[in-house]
Structure 1
């Protein structure tokens, strides 16, 4: 946060879009930082930023590598602005740690609703609550810090990845379809199978899980995912 306000960093090479988004978000009470390209976004990235909105197609450094670099140091949610809505583009975005996609052209109301929903989901890490540690196999899920550890070693997950893992762990043996997971996390109908599949792949990779013989997240072929420990 910045001066008690949620801080949002916008990176887009089109000045008109930056100016419109700044006015729109500042009008809703957010603190706003702007960047002209991915390189500047990386330089502006900081712990006080609560949400990154990155255009995919920027000169110098585009949105994808900028997000990947930001994600190495900070775990605030990342949203991509893109003129492309194909599944392959979304897979690429989610694979570098994106939390959501907004396809151009978009309405002001749609963007504000997405921003509010994402900040609401991610703010659990900023609101003081009673700490609850959930044991799962050899892992510990900490619901206050939204973190996962194994034998004292932290395993970095994004907010969305943590929410998916927490959902499965707190409903052991229940099989969640891709649509069920999407609705539970995003609160809306799924926009495609790729988002959840990529997030599951990322979680498994970070946990060191073998997708062919998984220890943590199991696959019920044709039905969805579950945990049984």
Structure 2
């Protein structure tokens, strides 16, 4: 039986960039679905897509707006292509669920490395998340589960449940939560968290702060009196 190809959706209003990306990714064995703008990307998005590459500056519906809409139902990694890599742009992108940024003009080698890394990290997580939502069977019996209050994290499947209900986290959000819960009471600075999750130097404090805000919202955590992710003012974040 022929193995199902990994599906990557690319969206860019520049036909030449779409052509280059399609050729590059297809040569690596990926199935490429191309969209010429953000609206078409939203229309073509579904749970069969394994990764999204979206240009930020597209007419009508921007990459940011498209990602925000896609994130309502899909949890595959989202990579942004952008000519702007400032902190404010990254903050906006991460706030709508982005996993990474690739600056234009991009290196083909760098893009492929990032694509492969995100696919490797997320494929099992995405499949496990859909399975957990469908089954909704409550706490797992896995001996490697991380139990914290009413949260259960399962490292093998990278899934998260709260009171037996699956929580839809992106891969990046899961990694931050796992980091804090596996090192209780240790305060992680913003730079520590960034290096642990991305394996590179931090690009700005707001990146992690946006992810923490998103995590708290999804977990139902009150930022003024948090139960899961606590703030050590001027130092960082921790779980007690």
Residues 172-208 of structure 1: CA deviation (Å, up to 9, x unaligned)? 1111111221121112222222221110110011112
Shift of 1:127: 8.4
Instruction: Give the match for residue 102 of structure 2.
Output: 102
Shift of 1:226: 0.9
Contact 2:76 2:126 in 1 (8 A): no
**RMSD over aligned Cα, in angstroms?**
1.9
Instruction: Give the match for residue 140 of structure 1.
Output: 152
Higher mean Cα deviation, 137-146 or 88-97? Answer: 137-146
Which ranges of structure 1 fall in alignment gaps of 5 or more residues?
Answer: none
* Aligned partner of residue 202 in structure 1, secondary structure: helix
Residues 135-179 of structure 1: CA deviation (Å, up to 9, x unaligned)? 111112233443322222222111110111011111111111112
- Provide the C-alpha distance between the structure 1 equivalents of 2:5 and 2:217, rounded to a whole number of angstroms: 34
1:60 aligns with 2:72: no
- Provide the C-alpha distance between the structure 2 equivalents of 1:54 and 1:172, rounded to a whole number of angstroms: 36
Number of residues paired by the alignment?
226
* Aligned partner of residue 52 in structure 2, secondary structure: strand
Shift of 1:133: 2.6
1:92 aligns with 2:92: yes
Instruction: Give the match for residue 179 of structure 1.
Output: 191
1:161 aligns with 2:173: yes
- Provide the C-alpha distance between the structure 1 equivalents of 2:126 and 2:60, rounded to a whole number of angstroms: 34
Instruction: Give the match for residue 81 of structure 1.
Output: 81
- Provide the C-alpha distance between the structure 1 equivalents of 2:189 and 2:103, rounded to a whole number of angstroms: 25
Provide runs of 4+ in structure 1 moved above 4 Å.
none
- Provide the C-alpha distance between the structure 1 equivalents of 2:198 and 2:154, rounded to a whole number of angstroms: 21
1:14 aligns with 2:14: yes
Shift of 1:56: 0.9
Which ranges of structure 2 fall in alignment gaps of 5 or more residues?
Answer: 129-140
Instruction: Give the match for residue 204 of structure 1.
Output: 216
- Provide the C-alpha distance between the structure 1 equivalents of 2:123 and 2:151, rounded to a whole number of angstroms: 23
- Provide the C-alpha distance between the structure 2 equivalents of 1:215 and 1:127, rounded to a whole number of angstroms: 28
Query: Given the two structures, how large is their TM-score scaled by the length of structure 2?
Result: 0.88
- Provide the C-alpha distance between the structure 2 equivalents of 1:184 and 1:223, rounded to a whole number of angstroms: 16
